[in-house]
Amino acid sequence: MTEFDPLEYFRSVYDSVPEWAAEFHRFSPEGFKHYTLLRNEVLRDGALSRKEKELILVGINAARRYERSMLFHTKGAIDAGATIEELAEIAAVCVLSRGIPAWFTGVEAIRYAERYMAEKGIVRSPGEAEEAAGVPAARTLDEALDYFRREASGVPEWASAMASFQPQALVGYAALRQQLLRDGAVSRKLKELTLLGINLAERYPRGVMLHAEGARRHGASSEQIAETALTALLTGGIPSWFEVVDCLKAD
């Protein structure tokens, strides 16, 4: 049996060994080997596909405004079959969690994808995404509050405060949330899992619980939630796993 070669693994993934990987190997060859084995295991197809995991990592790094890692995983997502439309929806949904700077960073993933696909001669149809039937986007404060009641089994305290002091802002935010979280090129479930990954990587328990429950409502299993946490671990470290444990339960 051929011994696992971590440098060859990265060469096969990125066409060359990234500088950070070469330096990691130079200073800690055994540590680098174990990291690469972990990465290879986490990113293989499982309860979530390799493509879904790469898209989640694009979203986490866009939200964290960490362009270098985001672009590595943009390549990984394209190589695994992702489309530009999927990348754009992942980048857009990050706005809900980390604001418009996440989109500024995410745009660089879209630009990179366009260049990379052109260089490789990749032509991929976006396909026909069926828009999920549902309630039209909120236009009044009452509609916005009704939306949050459905989503959170009651109006959250932060939404109540915004309704009192900035009602039109809440209406706008509810409408934006409804639009970005629709099924499209990316499913609502994967969007919730991406938002879960962002909050795991940034160790925000309230956001973790919110989006773990959102993902479950749209069909995610404990295995998919666990794999999201392991995927987040690759960029957010072991605390990403610590934060998910309370969300895991028997299905």
CB-based contact 73:58 (threshold 8 Å): yes
User: Count of CB atoms within 10 A of residue 155's CB?
Assistant: 18
Would you state the pLDDT for residue 124? Answer: 86
Question: CA 71 to CA 69: how far, in whole Å?
Answer: 5
How many other β-carbons are positioned within 10 Å of the β-carbon of residue 75? 20
Kindly report, residue by residue over 152-207, the tens digit of the pLDDT.
Answer: 888 999 999 999 999 999 999 999 999 999 999 999 999 999 999 999 999 999 99
Q: What angle do CA 119, 85, 82 make, to 5 degrees?
A: 60
Contacts of 4 by beta carbon, 8 Å cutoff, 6+ apart: 33, 36, 37
Amino acid at 55: L
- pLDDT tens over the chain, length 251 residues: 578 899 999 999 999 999 999 999 999 999 999 999 999 999 999 999 999 999 999 999 999 999 999 999 999 999 999 999 999 999 999 999 999 999 999 999 999 999 999 999 999 887 655 555 556 888 999 999 999 999 888 899 999 999 999 999 999 999 999 999 999 999 999 999 999 999 999 999 999 999 999 999 999 999 999 999 999 999 999 999 999 999 997 56
Asked if residue 225 lies in contact with residue 212, where contact means CB atoms within 8 angstroms, the answer is yes
Extract long-range pairs of 122-128: CB within 8 Å, 24+ residues apart.
122/78, 124/81, 124/83, 124/84, 125/83, 126/83, 126/84, 126/85, 126/185, 127/83, 127/185
End-to-end CA separation in angstroms for the chain: 38
Residue 188: partners with Cβ closer than 8 Å, 6 or more residues away: 132, 181, 182, 218
Tokens representing residue 227 in the block: 């794999």
